[in-house]
Amino acid sequence: MANSNSSSYTTGMEETKRSTEVCLTFPPKVISPGLATILVEKDKDEPLMTYSGPRLHCQMVVIFVLTQIIHRLLEKLGLPLFISQILAGILLSPMLFSDQHSLVNISEDSVSVLGTVGALGFVFFLFLSGVKMDLSLTLKSGKKAICIGLLTVVVPLIFCMTTIKNLHPEGNEFSNKSFFLAVTYSGTSFPVIHNLLSELKILNSELGRLGLSAALIGDIVTLVLTVFSLWVKTGIEKGIKEALMDVGLALLFIVIVVFVLRPVMKWMVKRTPEAGQIKDMCFFIVVLAFMMSPRFTKLFRVYFLFGPFILGLAVPDGPPLGSALVEKLDPIISGLFLPIFATTCGLRFDPSYFKDSTKFAYHQAIGAVVTLLIKFVVSLLVPLLCKMPTRDSFALAFIMISKGIVEMGSYSIMNDSRVISEDIFTHMTIVIILVASIVPILVKKLYDPSRKYLCFQKRTIMNSKLNQELRLISCVHVPSNVSSIINLFNASCLIRDSSIALDVLHLVKLSGRATPLFIAHHKQKKKQPNKSYSENVVLAFEQFERDNREAVSVNVFTAVSPPNLMYEDICNLAMDRLTSFIILPFHRRWYIDGSIESEDQTIRSLNFDILERAPCSIGILVEGRRNLKGSNVRDPLASNNSSSYNIAVIFMGGQDDREALALAKRISQDKNVSLTVIHFKAANSLGAILTENDRMLDDAMLSDIKQSKCLTYIEKQVKDGPETSNYLRSIVEDYQLIIVGRRYKRENPQTSGLQEWCEFQEIGIIGDLLSSADFIGKYSLLIVQQQQRTT
């Protein structure tokens, strides 16, 4: 057995004059000989948990299991996962587990290993937070965001210093760290607010965008004030010469990062092929620079947490470099290391320090609470003065005072480095837990972005006049969507008397940045860098507009946002533009033989979200099938001057079918369009679910069709779903476009027996039937749902 030596150290602190004695064993025991060996030899002096390797693994498992159990119990109350992680650390603290040979073994040696792993995760988190931030947005922030971000830091700071000075008049605001601590109380954390908005799914909302912009401004102000407070403290304690040296070295560090490292990373981005991935070598060089940044910050006398964050700010956001760093590192950091760090912060919490708190700690706690209240009042008054609704103003005020992992981690590190005492850390932990628990619940109660989607008027094609401009939105995910949408409108033979205002929304996944973007290209004078695909979309639709001058007007927008929140961009645009119809691409495309060409489940989830929330009618476009391996085969809707376009409408009754028929009538006014209405009627009326009102509306709409000489009306009686399927299979090849109503959860005799075979609920029974592999054809399919959300 290796010799064991003990060492001890004593540390003091100005405010508390506490001392700590820690005994460590050298050399440390890391790798165990194995569980079987220990059990066979039955060595009681060296149990398995004395080895740091297996002990760390067991602690990680216990932390994960306990955190998930607590979160399952608390998530119904609306509490975030961060609270469960902190509570798991409190439950595992030495108050409950202090036995040296217990499973978690919360000894000083144990906590040092676990804390090191967690601290690594926290530093990585700060680096990735810097990568996601786009400082250029500060120049584009509106006056409201700038005022909120600036005033919610400066005003509470002044009140905090005034409060502490009144409570402790004989103290020096700088030498006893009061000013530095006051900055931490009044500061705003962009990563914390971003995580809060993401968890509440309001990142893309109007309130979420304002909160992010204000948080970005506030975070920068906080960073500047924190650095300034450290310089002032150094000047008072060590002299003006040392303070000026710190300022000079810090500025030199920033110059090296901005004018050396950032150009190198931009050069890496330029060497990456368009829409390609960054080379692994470039990725590892950036990670190596991050790993070395804490050492460089020590050389340049910069607070070690600022180094990785500033380096992250220098990384070009978005693809290919920023997105590669976030996509590869964020899952393991946010999923493994950061939860461990949050739990180790909870391990440091000891309520016994409440009894032994010093007067200085009580004064700091009062100052922190006063700062929080003033920050809330300022965050509330500024939006109210800007005529923001009261509920939204309260929600924004709660967002701006939110606390989370950044504040918790900062206080934990300051506690470990003896910058603050244990009693101050205990008070701050209570404040953070209370604020982080209450804020999400109150914001969720106060702000519901879906309220504005409840329209007081019908925004449907049926309610639009034929000679009135029809406002549409078409969504684009991939290049093939562009040609499909253009071909769809070309098939409708656009005419001047029935013009269309088309808004094209290019949806891009948010990657490598934290702030969503919404770009109106018709307002952009300069081309956007790294937006080549959007540029191609703009060029394609500008040409389409020129080809159909006076019949269609096109505006192109780009929304860069998380896939699960893209519906916010679509619905907000529909509300702002008074849209009557939204065209969504289907998530799956097929080859001509029925095999799948491509599929994207995130698009399917987005389509479901839009179907539930849209403030107008919706159409899902299923592209016509193409030959295998992308052969050059004419799209069924592509321009063809030799013959007319054959469009069919499948009509069974109900509001969705009426909307589909209204759309077909709208796009078939040109003589080159041949429209056929196929009306399926039940041979046996038993089981029909149409109301008397629906029948009257159906008859009124069909009467115009029957009397028209320009349209073809076919009435087909069927007794069940299989007979409907057989008839459709016999006629689908005669048409280039088939329009059907979604008819969600509406099964009648004409579709009986087909519901159980329906794979895609979002396109309804008939839409799913026509898109199945049993129906071979090159036709495109448009499934229509009439506006649902009205008051």
User: What's the average model confidence in pLDDT over 754-770?
Assistant: 87
Which uninterrupted H or E stretch holds 265? helix 262-271
Contacts with 417 (C-beta within 8 Å, 6 or more apart), sequence order: none
User: What's the average model confidence in pLDDT over 475-482?
Assistant: 89
CA distance 84 to 343: 9
The pLDDT-based confidence of 454 (bands split at 50, 70, 90) is low
Q: At what angle do helices 566-576 and 601-613 cross, to 10 degrees?
A: 40
Domain co-membership, 441 together with 467: no
Domain co-membership, 147 together with 248: yes
Burial class (CB in 10 A: 0-12, 13-18, 19+), 716: middle
Q: Are 237 and 179 in contact (CB under 8 A)?
A: no
3-state secondary structure of 598: strand
Residue 68 maps to a domain: no
Q: Which of 104, 84, 101 is nearest to 93 (CA)?
A: 104
Of residues 490 and 144, more confidence is placed in 144
| Boundary-marking domain end, from 447, 475, 510 | 447
CA distance 339 to 784: 45
| Boundary-marking domain end, from 395, 422, 447 | 447
DSSP assignment of 418-444: TSS-HHHHHHHHHHHHHHHHHHHHHHH
Contacts with 713 (C-beta within 8 Å, 6 or more apart), sequence order: 676, 677, 679, 702, 705, 706
Q: Which of 212, 204, 208 is nearest to 134 (CA)?
A: 212
Name beta bridge partners: 728.
none
Predicted TM-score (pTM) of this structure? 0.82
The CA-based angle 656-670-541, given to 5 degrees, is 80
pLDDT digits (tens, 9 = 90+) for 679-721: 988 877 655 566 778 788 888 888 877 877 778 888 888 888 8
The pLDDT-based confidence of 20 (bands split at 50, 70, 90) is low
Residue 497 maps to a domain: yes
The pLDDT-based confidence of 397 (bands split at 50, 70, 90) is very high
3-state secondary structure of 410: helix
Give the CATH number for residue 499: 3.40.50.620
Residue 23 maps to a domain: no
The CA-based angle 574-562-602, given to 5 degrees, is 85
| Boundary-marking domain end, from 447, 469, 503 | 447
Q: Cis omega before residue 320 (within 30°)?
A: yes
Domain co-membership, 426 together with 484: no
- pLDDT on residue 17: 47
CA distance 135 to 257: 15
Domain co-membership, 504 together with 481: yes
Q: Which of 164, 217, 159, 153 is nearest to 187 (CA)?
A: 153
Of residues 385 and 44, more confidence is placed in 385
CA distance 24 to 499: 81
Q: Are 354 and 124 in contact (CB under 8 A)?
A: no
In the chain, the amino acid numbered 365 is: A
- pLDDT on residue 530: 44
Q: Is the pLDDT of residue 14 over 50?
A: no
Residue 692 maps to a domain: yes
User: What's the average model confidence in pLDDT over 668-674?
Assistant: 77
CA distance 341 to 119: 6
CA distance 427 to 425: 6
Contacts with 247 (C-beta within 8 Å, 6 or more apart), sequence order: 231
User: What's the average model confidence in pLDDT over 233-242?
Assistant: 83
Domain co-membership, 415 together with 512: no
The pLDDT-based confidence of 16 (bands split at 50, 70, 90) is very low
In the chain, the amino acid numbered 654 is: G
Q: What are phi and psi of 468, to 5 degrees?
A: -100, 145
CA distance 622 to 609: 18
Residue 64 maps to a domain: no
Q: Are 179 and 161 in contact (CB under 8 A)?
A: yes
The pLDDT-based confidence of 570 (bands split at 50, 70, 90) is very high
Domain co-membership, 466 together with 602: yes
Contacts with 188 (C-beta within 8 Å, 6 or more apart), sequence order: 149, 152, 153, 214, 215, 218, 219, 221, 222, 400
Average pLDDT taken over every residue of the chain? 81
- pLDDT on residue 438: 94
CA distance 468 to 499: 7
Q: What are phi and psi of 322, to 5 degrees?
A: -60, -45
The pLDDT-based confidence of 519 (bands split at 50, 70, 90) is confident
- pLDDT on residue 636: 55
Domain co-membership, 395 together with 518: no
pLDDT digits (tens, 9 = 90+) for 576-598: 888 999 999 998 887 766 677 78
Q: Are 451 and 389 in contact (CB under 8 A)?
A: no
Instruction: For strands 24-26 and 673-682, give the pairing.
Output: unpaired
Name beta bridge partners: 739.
649, 782
Which uninterrupted H or E stretch holds 617? strand 617-622
- pLDDT on residue 605: 93
Q: Which of 70, 563, 567, 159 is nearest to 378 (CA)?
A: 159
Domain containing 440: what range? 108-447
Q: Is the pLDDT of residue 95 over 70?
A: no
CA distance 442 to 78: 9
Which uninterrupted H or E stretch holds 500? strand 500-509
- pLDDT on residue 110: 61
DSSP assignment of 331-354: HHIIIIIHHHHHHHHHHT--GGGG
Q: What are phi and psi of 28, to 5 degrees?
A: -70, 150
Q: What percent of the chain has pLDDT over 90?
A: 23
Name beta bridge partners: 505.
475, 557
The pLDDT-based confidence of 94 (bands split at 50, 70, 90) is low
Specify the DSSP class assigned to residue 456: S
- pLDDT on residue 685: 61
pLDDT digits (tens, 9 = 90+) for 481-501: 898 888 888 877 666 667 888
- pLDDT on residue 6: 38
Q: Are 715 and 679 in contact (CB under 8 A)?
A: yes
Q: Are 604 and 569 in contact (CB under 8 A)?
A: no
- pLDDT on residue 557: 92
The pLDDT-based confidence of 47 (bands split at 50, 70, 90) is low
Q: Is the pLDDT of residue 752 over 80?
A: yes
Q: How far is CA 102 from CA 46, 62, 67, in A?
A: 13, 12, 19
DSSP assignment of 154-184: HHHHHHHHHHHHHHSTTS-TTTTSHHHHHHH
**Which residues of 633-768 form beta strands (DSSP E)?**
645-651, 673-682, 712-718, 737-741
Residue 18 maps to a domain: no
Burial class (CB in 10 A: 0-12, 13-18, 19+), 2: exposed
The pLDDT-based confidence of 233 (bands split at 50, 70, 90) is confident
Domain co-membership, 432 together with 470: no
**Which residues of 207-312 form beta strands (DSSP E)?**
none
Specify the DSSP class assigned to residue 258: I
Residue 347 maps to a domain: yes
User: What's the average model confidence in pLDDT over 760-773?
Assistant: 87
- pLDDT on residue 21: 62
Q: What is the sign, positive or negative, of the torsion defined by CA atoms of 225, 227, 230, 231?
A: negative
CA distance 715 to 680: 6
The pLDDT-based confidence of 638 (bands split at 50, 70, 90) is low
Number of domains forming the structure of the chain: 2
Domain co-membership, 144 together with 176: yes
In the chain, the amino acid numbered 1 is: M
The pLDDT-based confidence of 106 (bands split at 50, 70, 90) is low
Q: Is the pLDDT of residue 435 over 90?
A: yes
Q: Which of 94, 47, 96, 91 is nearest to 71 (CA)?
A: 91
Domain co-membership, 475 together with 385: no
pLDDT digits (tens, 9 = 90+) for 192-206: 999 999 988 888 888
User: To which residue do tokens 């932390």 refer?
Assistant: 63
Give the CATH number for residue 160: 1.20.1530.20
Residue 63 maps to a domain: no
Q: Would you state the torsion angle of the CA atoms of residues 558, 564, 565, 566, taken in this order, to the nearest 10 degrees? A: 30
User: What's the average model confidence in pLDDT over 29-35?
Assistant: 59
Provide the CB-side half-sphere exposure for 788 (13 A, CA): 14
CB count within 10 Å of CB 450 equals 14
pLDDT digits (tens, 9 = 90+) for 80-92: 899 999 998 888 8
Break the chain down into helix, strand, coil percent, rounded to 5. 55, 10, 30
The pLDDT-based confidence of 153 (bands split at 50, 70, 90) is very high
Of residues 350 and 569, more confidence is placed in 569
Q: Is the pLDDT of residue 539 over 50?
A: yes
Q: Are 765 and 747 in contact (CB under 8 A)?
A: yes
Q: Are 197 and 170 in contact (CB under 8 A)?
A: no
User: To which residue do tokens 């006049």 refer?
Assistant: 465
Domain co-membership, 363 together with 475: no
Name beta bridge partners: 559.
507, 518
CA distance 191 to 212: 9
Domain co-membership, 395 together with 486: no
CA distance 771 to 765: 10
Specify the DSSP class assigned to residue 26: E
